[in-house]
């Protein structure tokens, strides 16, 4: 009989498609991915669900403003979410879109179960409605403002179907009391309990004023309330009404991860909807805090969003993850600053883990030809190696417990205590000095053996947060096993066998120049915020397009870092012959070129207009980056990039030429 693993089903909120994904959405999804990876290491059969919330007035209005259908709008933003999670290499198992047919079937089923039990009736609503929060506001603030978001509400009058929320007050309070960790953190639980004790009114669960939604099962005039729809997606995503086997296996969810602003929907409405339909309740709802920017919540409406891609593409995916989890105390708000990001990166990753790993591996090469030396027999172990081993065991226990409690910042802090202890161990034992004395070979071996074991502990424990870098270091240590299936509770000191061949030392987190890197990130942020491309703020001509995939982004080199030949060979450079060039109306720095690159003629938009007239470029042989992902500049598609030197303080572009005549399409090596 194959061993059956216990299951662990967790979800992120399904994100609205009225705005593109930003760092706030990324935060929740990265946290979910970290928990998923940790639980997989602990032997669970994990399912991580995320997705997009595509119905409702917000989306309807955003689409109208953009002049497209709501479905076309939803398709585009949902695609951006999927693409971003892929770029960040998040271990997502299920992705649900609320416009999928399976969602409608599931929502109808849940609703009809509640209706059959008598919890749904037809009524009439007249009052204020908050479009932003997609909810009726029974008691608006003075001036008709929504008490949640403080935005103006709108007067609506409509016939509705109601859900008998008022009947669930006692059952909900009983739930919170009997399962004290149903809502976490504790402060949030208290808020919800106070709200429910204050009394619950029936909830309108249909709309006639909105068209963009799932139709009411037997009354097409109505669409189903967007939150009833959205919450049900947690069930649809694992087969409710569609795939009974999956559904039975994974429901109820062990964890719904959410931001604190949507707690009431999850901790009050959702369990009530499920109780009414007699379906099992999720086990836990954890409401975390917000990333703030200059003390304000990062959000589309405030226009202060930061995006994850520039950080991931500049410092690497793992650096982004590390910062998000280390800097913010999970559950509380945290301020985002690029300065803090780069300080942490340099201190903890470049000088900390990255440096430690490359030093240890390099010394094993230098002193033992790349083969892990044997430890000195137990009896003669020096006290200091014993102390390091016991520190590793202590950190293991503490970090595991913190992970289990979702205290990621504390977990990382404790793992970095072991980084510091290992550094200190090397500083004290001075292997470089021992190496000079042939009589101290055994001691030198012991020191490096112990340091390597400790590094093995560090990376296994850091794996949920730094999946890519930890895997690389794991392999550098000569480990053949899969780091992702190490049980973090049972890491054995000494598991790394003497005689193991270690890999090449590699600096995974090159030091970043703060000013230069910060400027690069900012320029990329601008590019994302203004995808039409304003050449004055766009990166210089030879910087990769923002849409280019972050190949090997986990270890993407920081500024001025050395790359290997395999990285360089990913860039396809070809000779291009400019066949035609023209200006783009309204854009004075860019030109649209048609460039013959051998097998085909490409349209390329290049920021060359400050240096060349279109006529000057026609007939020129240029260097083209031929394998860049297409992107749009000022709405014009560009399929490649022209290489140019950026000269002077303005970065004036000067194109490259050839000493001899060369045919279009010839490859540059």
Contact 200, 169 (CB under 8 A): yes
- Judged by the rule CB under 6 A, the positions of this chain that interact with ligand MSP are 13-16, 24-25, 27-28, 53, 230-231, 258-259, 261-262, 290-291, 297-299
Q: How far is the CB of 263 from ligand MSP (least distance, A)?
A: 9
| Smallest distance, ligand MSP to C-beta of residue 273, A | 11
Our CB check for ligand MSP shows the closer of 269 and 612 to be 269
Tell me 260's DSSP state. G
Nearest distance, CB of residue 109 and ligand MSP, angstroms: 17
Q: Give the residue with the Cβ less far from ligand MSP, 28 or 454.
A: 28
**Which residue, 25 or 429, is less far from ligand MSP as judged by CB?**
25
Nearer to ligand MSP, 290 or 474 (CB): 290
- Asked if 665 contacts 597 with a C-beta cutoff of 8 angstroms, the reply is yes
For residues 594 and 548, the answer to whether their CB atoms sit within 8 Å is: no
In the complex, minimum distance from the CB of residue 497 to ligand MSP, in angstroms, rounded to a whole number = 44
Please say which residue, 14 or 473, places its beta carbon nearer to ligand MSP.
14
How far apart are the C-alpha atoms of 467 and 17, rounded to whole Å?
Answer: 28
Plot region of 294 (φ>0 → left; ψ -120 to 50 → alpha; else → beta): left
Residue placing its CB nearer to ligand MSP in the complex, 230 or 392 = 230
* Least spacing, CB of residue 265 vs ligand MSP, in Å: 7
Distances (CA, A) of 372 to 100, 366, 378, 494, 496: 54, 11, 17, 11, 8
Q: Which are the contacts of 378, defined by CB distance < 8 A and separation ≥ 6?
A: none
Nearest approach, Cβ of residue 318 and ligand MSP (Å): 20
**Closest approach of ligand MSP to the CB of residue 54, in Å:** 9
Quote the CA–CA distance of 225 and 205 in Å, as a whole number: 5
Residue 51 beta carbon to ligand MSP: minimum distance, rounded to whole angstroms = 9
Q: Distance between CA 97 and CA 157 in Å, rounded?
A: 30
List residues bridging with 259 in a β-sheet. Answer: 288
The residue written with tokens 């086997």 in the block is 245
**Distance in angstroms (rounded) separating the CA atoms of residues 445 and 423:** 16
CB of 6 to ligand MSP, least distance (A): 25
259/467 with CB nearer ligand MSP: 259
Nearer to ligand MSP, 14 or 361 (CB): 14
**DSSP symbols for 89-124:** T----EEEETTSHHHHHHHHHHHHHHHHTT-EEEEE
Q: Is the Cβ of residue 25 or residue 574 nearer to ligand MSP in the bound state?
A: 25
Nearer to ligand MSP, 259 or 539 (CB): 259
Only one residue has tokens 């060039």, namely 581
- Distance from C-alpha of 22 to C-alpha of 88, rounded to nearest angstrom: 13
CB of 291 to ligand MSP, least distance (A): 4
CB nearer to ligand MSP: give 31 or 412: 31
Q: How far apart, in whole angstroms, are the C-alpha atoms of residue 273 and residue 237?
A: 17
In the complex with ligand MSP, the residue whose CB is nearer, 105 or 475, is: 105
- Of 166, 15, 11, residue with least CA distance to 82: 15
**Contacting residues for 200 by C-beta, under 8 A, at least 6 apart:** 165, 166, 168, 169, 172, 268
Residue whose tokens read 């504790």: 186
Question: Could you identify the residue written with the tokens 């970090």?
Answer: 399
Nearer to ligand MSP, 183 or 459 (CB): 183
CB of 431 to ligand MSP, least distance (A): 44
Closest distance to ligand MSP from the beta carbon of 294 (Å): 12
* Matching residue, tokens 């097409």: 220
Surface-to-core class of residue 47, CB atoms within 10 Å of its CB (0-12 exposed, 13-18 middle, 19+ buried): buried
Nearest partner of 538 among 595, 639, 593, 606, judged by Cα: 606
Considering the complex, state which of residue 13 and residue 607 has its C-beta at the smaller distance from ligand MSP. Answer: 13
Nearest-approach distance from CB 15 to ligand MSP, in angstroms: 4
Q: Compute the least distance from the CB of residue 336 to ligand MSP, in Å.
A: 9
Q: Which two tokens stand for residue 232?
A: 């049900």
SS3 at position 332: coil
Cβ 110 to ligand MSP shortest distance, Å: 13
CA angle 400, 401, 406 (to 5 degrees): 95
3-state SS class at 133? coil
Does 185 sit behind a cis peptide bond, omega within 30 degrees of 0 on the bond before it?
yes
Based on CB atoms, which residue is closest to ligand MSP, 65 or 420?
Answer: 65
Distance CA 308, CA 324 (A): 10
Nearer to ligand MSP, 292 or 452 (CB): 292
CA dist., res. 31 & res. 595, Å (int): 45
Q: How far is the CB of 324 from ligand MSP (least distance, A)?
A: 9
CB of 579 to ligand MSP, least distance (A): 45
Long-range contacts of 401-405 (CB under 8 A, 24+ apart): 403/35, 403/38, 403/464, 403/488
Nearest residue to ligand MSP, using CB? 24
CA distance 650 to 653: 9
Strand order in the sheet with 219-224: 206-207, 219-224, 215-216
* Helices and strands counted in the chain (H then E): 22, 25
CB nearer to ligand MSP: pick between 250 and 290: 290
Q: How far is CA 87 from CA 35, 60, 365, in A?
A: 19, 28, 34
């Amino acid at each position: 009989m194959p061993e059956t693993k216990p299951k662990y089903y967790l979800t992120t909120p399904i994100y609205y498609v009225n705005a593109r994904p930003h760092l706030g959405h990324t935060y929740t999804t990265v946290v979910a991915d970290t928990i998923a990876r940790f639980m997989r290491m602990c032997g669970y059969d994990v399912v991580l669900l995320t997705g997009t919330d595509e119905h409702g007035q917000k989306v309807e209005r955003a689409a109208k403003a953009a002049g497209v259908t709501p479905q076309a709008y939803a398709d585009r933003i949902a695609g951006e979410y999927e693409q971003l999670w892929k770029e960040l290499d998040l271990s997502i198992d299920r992705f649900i879109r609320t416009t999928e047919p399976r969602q409608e079937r599931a929502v109808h089923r849940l609703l009809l179960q509640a209706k059959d039990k008598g919890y749904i009736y037809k009524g009439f609503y007249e009052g204020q409605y908050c479009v932003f929060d997609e909810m009726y506001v029974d008691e608006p603030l003075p001036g008709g403002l929504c008490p949640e978001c403080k935005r103006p509400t709108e007067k609506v009058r409509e016939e509705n179907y109601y859900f008998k929320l008022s009947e669930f007050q006692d059952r909900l309070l009983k739930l919170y009391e009997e399962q004290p960790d149903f809502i976490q953190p504790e402060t949030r639980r208290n808020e919800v309990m106070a709200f429910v004790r204050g009394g619950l009114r029936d909830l309108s669960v249909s709309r006639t004023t909105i068209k963009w939604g799932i139709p009411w099962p037997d009354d097409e005039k109505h669409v189903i309330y967007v939150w009833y729809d959205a919450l049900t997606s947690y069930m649809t995503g694992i087969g409710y009404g569609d795939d009974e086997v999956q559904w039975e296996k994974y429901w109820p969810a062990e964890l719904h991860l959410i931001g604190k602003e949507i707690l009431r929907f999850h901790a009050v409405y959702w369990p009530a909807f499920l109780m009414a339909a007699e379906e099992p309740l999720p086990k836990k709802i954890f409401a975390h805090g917000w990333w703030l920017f200059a003390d304000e919540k990062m959000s589309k409406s405030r226009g202060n969003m930061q995006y994850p891609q520039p950080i991931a593409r500049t410092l690497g995916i793992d650096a982004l993850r590390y910062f998000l989890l280390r800097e913010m105390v999970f559950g509380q708000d945290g301020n985002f600053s690029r300065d803090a990001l780069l300080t942490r990166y340099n201190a903890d990753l470049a000088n900390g883990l990255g440096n430690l790993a490359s030093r240890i591996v390099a010394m094993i090469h230098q002193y033992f030809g790349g083969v892990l030396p044997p430890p000195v027999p137990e009896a003669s172990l020096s006290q200091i190696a014993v102390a390091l081993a016991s520190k590793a065991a202590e950190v293991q226990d503490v970090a595991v417990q913190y992970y289990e409690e979702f205290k990621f910042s504390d977990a990382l802090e404790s793992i970095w205590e072991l980084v510091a202890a290992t550094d200190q161990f090397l500083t004290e034992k001075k292997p470089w000095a021992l190496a000079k004395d042939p009589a101290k070979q055994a001691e030198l071996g012991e020191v490096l053996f112990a340091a390597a074991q400790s590094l093995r502990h560090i990376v296994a424990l850091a794996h949920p947060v730094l999946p890519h870098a930890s895997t690389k270091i794991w392999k550098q240590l000569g480990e053949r096993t899969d780091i992702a299936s190490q049980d973090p509770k049972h890491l054995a000191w000494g598991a790394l066998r003497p005689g193991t061949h270690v890999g090449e030392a590699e600096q995974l987190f090159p030091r970043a120049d703060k000013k230069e890197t910060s400027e690069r990130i900012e320029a990329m942020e601008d590019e994302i915020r203004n995808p039409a491309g304003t050449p004055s703020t766009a990166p210089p001509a030879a910087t990769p397009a923002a849409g280019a995939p972050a190949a090997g982004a986990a270890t993407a080199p920081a500024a001025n870092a050395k790359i290997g030949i395999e990285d360089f060979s990913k860039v396809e450079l070809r000779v291009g012959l400019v066949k035609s060039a023209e200006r783009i109306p309204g854009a004075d720095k860019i030109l649209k070129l048609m460039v013959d690159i051998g097998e085909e003629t490409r349209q390329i938009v290049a920021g060359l207009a400050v240096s060349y007239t279109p006529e000057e470029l026609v007939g020129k042989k240029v260097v083209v980056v031929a394998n860049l992902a297409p992107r749009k500049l000022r709405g014009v598609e560009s399929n490649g990039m022209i290489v140019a030197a950026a000269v002077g303080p303005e970065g004036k572009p000067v194109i490259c030429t050839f000493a001899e005549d060369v045919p279009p399409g010839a490859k540059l090596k």
